[in-house]
């Protein structure tokens, strides 16, 4: 949509081929249906791929401030929320899609719905497009803005990669990112829906790395939440490298092991006649208590607090501060928000987004080997790269 608007505004005649029944179906689910348009804090540090610095050339031409101005001019009033996230005042992703669609129609775009591009061939100075209904059409420029593989129910089926490869491009390995983690354990059904404000880190070869803090949600298969989604890309990388991955959860921010052990000693002394499992009520989330104690290898969680040994107390403190789970895998593309990997950016001009292999061919958005953190970063790259590709294509 952004690529088409940008080309149309600069005098091009544009046709969008959309295999879904409407434009922007994936935008509709961003930001939990509110459309996290962008973030006030954008840098290449928020992006991943073989060359995250590729984004610098794109953002230098169309950044987050220009994006907000663009949408403001179309009538989208924006607001800034925590962590710099920017949303439309309407809190409706549908309003963003509607405004973009209206703009496209006002500019005279030709829209072809429910039609899939089967092949693209370059013949001389023209591209010949073959559709799944057997029809053909010719164009002097082509922009592939087909997304990745995440959320295939909304149209992202990886077909853009197939088209890119048919034209001589390399596609780096792809995997689900910003996705939930599946953990080894037999009690997740009992704690599904429990939310904690804690921290999570990955343990690789005995070393804790990539620590993130914030909301963590337990599910029937493992964990989700913003913290987990942010770690998921690196989790999958390590798994694909054949490494064992452990997720370490820290349930409390304000304690180290010595301080927590001292606190528990005082609490157990005060509640010495209470059962151990009930002594944590009012301190820890109650559905987690028996599983924390069992993970700390406490054989009898019904014993009186007075009967808890110093060694047992220490193990409980250690588990609260470092509750380890073996990561089996991430969830699939079906649940993922974005795709890691894509068209190799070494084969694309970072200033124009034109192919270095095929003249007149451009790429933008998630089809490229660029994926961002959660918080508006992926949409910002979509807007920016779409803008650059659209304008470059008519020069």
pLDDT (tens digit per residue) in 307-349: 999 999 999 999 999 999 999 999 999 999 999 999 999 999 9
pLDDT at site 205: 83
Last residue of a domain, one of 331, 349, 373: 331
Same domain, 342 and 284: no
CATH assignment of the domain containing 89: 3.50.50.60
- Hey, CA dihedral for 14, 20, 26, 32, is it positive or negative? positive
Answer whether residue 208 shows pLDDT above 90.
Answer: no
CA distances from 374 to 79, 147, 229, 355, 365 (A): 18, 16, 7, 28, 15
Same domain, 192 and 166: no
Report which of 346, 391, 386, 390 is spatially closest to residue 38, judged by C-alpha positions. 386
The 10s digit of each residue's pLDDT in 156-170 is 999 999 999 999 999
> In this predicted structure, what is the pLDDT of residue 31?
92
pLDDT value at position 253? 86
pLDDT of residue 114: 97
| Tokens 């999958």, located at residue | 236
Q: Is residue 201 a contact partner of residue 248, using CB atoms and an 8 Å limit?
A: yes
Tell me how far apart the alpha carbons of residues 43 and 111 are, in angstroms, rounded to a whole number: 34
- State the average pLDDT for the chain: 96
- Domain match, 191 and 64 both: no
Convert the pLDDT of each residue in 344-385 to its tens digit.
999 999 999 999 999 999 999 999 999 999 999 999 999 999
Please check whether residues 248 and 280 belong to one and the same domain: yes
Under the banding of pLDDT at 50, 70 and 90, the label for residue 395 is confident
Q: Are residues 301 and 266 in the same domain?
A: yes
Whether residues 193 and 215 share a domain: the answer is: yes
In this structure, of 10-19, 182-191, 204-213, 256-265, the range with the lowest mean pLDDT score is: 204-213
User: What tens digit of pLDDT does each residue of 58-117 get?
Assistant: 999 999 999 999 999 999 999 999 999 999 999 999 999 999 999 999 999 999 999 999
Say if residue 73 is exposed, middle or buried (CB neighbours under 10 Å; 0-12, 13-18, 19+).
exposed
Q: Does residue 78 contact residue 88 with C-beta atoms inside 8 Å?
A: yes
Do 42 and 189 have their domain in common? no
CB atoms under 10 Å from CB of 123, counted, come to 8
Distance CA(202)–CA(205), nearest Å, equals: 10
Q: Containing domain of residue 235, as a range? A: 180-331
Q: For residues 106 and 93, is the Cβ–Cβ distance under 8 A?
A: no
pTM of the model: 0.92
> In terms of domains, do 172 and 46 share one?
yes
Does residue 254 surpass a pLDDT of 90?
Answer: no
**214 and 115 housed in the same domain:** no
Residues 379 and 284 in one domain: no
Which of residues 285, 300, 331 is at a domain's end?
331
CA atoms of 115 and 20, how far apart (whole Å): 7
Quote the number of domains for the chain: 2
Considering the domain architecture, whether residues 135 and 255 belong to the same structural domain is answered as no
346 & 313 share domain: no
């Amino acid at each position: 949509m952004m690529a088409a608007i940008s080309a149309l505004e600069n005098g091009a005649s544009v046709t969008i081929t959309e295999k879904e029944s409407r434009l922007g179906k994936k935008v509709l689910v961003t930001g939990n249906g509110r459309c996290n348009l962008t973030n006030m804090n954008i840098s290449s540090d928020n992006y991943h791929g073989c060359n995250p610095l590729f984004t610098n050339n794109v953002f230098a031409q169309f950044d987050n401030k220009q994006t907000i101005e663009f949408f403001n001019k179309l009538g989208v009033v924006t607001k800034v929320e925590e962590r710099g996230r920017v949303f439309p005042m309407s809190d409706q992703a549908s309003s963003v899609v509607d405004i973009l669609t209206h703009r496209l129609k006002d500019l005279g775009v030709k829209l072809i719905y429910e039609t899939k591009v089967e092949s693209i061939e370059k013949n001389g100075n023209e591209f010949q497009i073959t559709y799944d209904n057997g029809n053909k059409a010719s164009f002097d420029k082509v922009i592939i803005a087909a997304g990745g593989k995440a959320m295939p129910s909304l149209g992202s089926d990886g077909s853009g990669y197939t088209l890119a490869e048919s034209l001589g491009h390399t596609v780096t390995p792809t995997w689900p990112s910003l996705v939930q983690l599946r953990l080894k354990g037999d009690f997740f059904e009992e704690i599904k829906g429990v939310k904690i404000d804690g921290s999570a880190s990955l343990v690789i070869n005995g070393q804790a790395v990539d620590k993130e803090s914030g909301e963590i949600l337990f599910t029937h298969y493992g964990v989700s939440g913003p913290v987990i989604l942010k770690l998921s890309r690196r989790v999958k990388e390590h798994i694909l490298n054949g490494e064992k991955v452990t997720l370490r959860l820290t349930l409390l921010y304000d304690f180290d092991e010595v301080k927590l052990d001292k606190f528990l000693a005082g609490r157990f002394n005060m509640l010495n006649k209470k059962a151990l499992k009930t002594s944590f009520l009012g301190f820890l989330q109650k559905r987690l208590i028996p599983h924390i104690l069992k993970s700390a290898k406490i054989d009898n969680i019904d014993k009186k607090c007075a009967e808890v040994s110093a060694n047992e107390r220490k193990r409980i403190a250690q588990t609260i501060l470092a509750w380890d789970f073996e990561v089996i895998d991430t969830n699939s593309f079906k649940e993922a928000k974005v795709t890691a990997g894509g068209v190799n950016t070494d084969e694309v001009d970072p200033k124009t987004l034109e192919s270095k292999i095929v003249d007149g061919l451009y790429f933008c958005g998630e089809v490229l080997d660029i994926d961002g953190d959660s918080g508006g970063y992926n949409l910002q790259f979509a807007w920016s790269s779409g803008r650059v590709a659209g304008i470059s294509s008519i020069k």
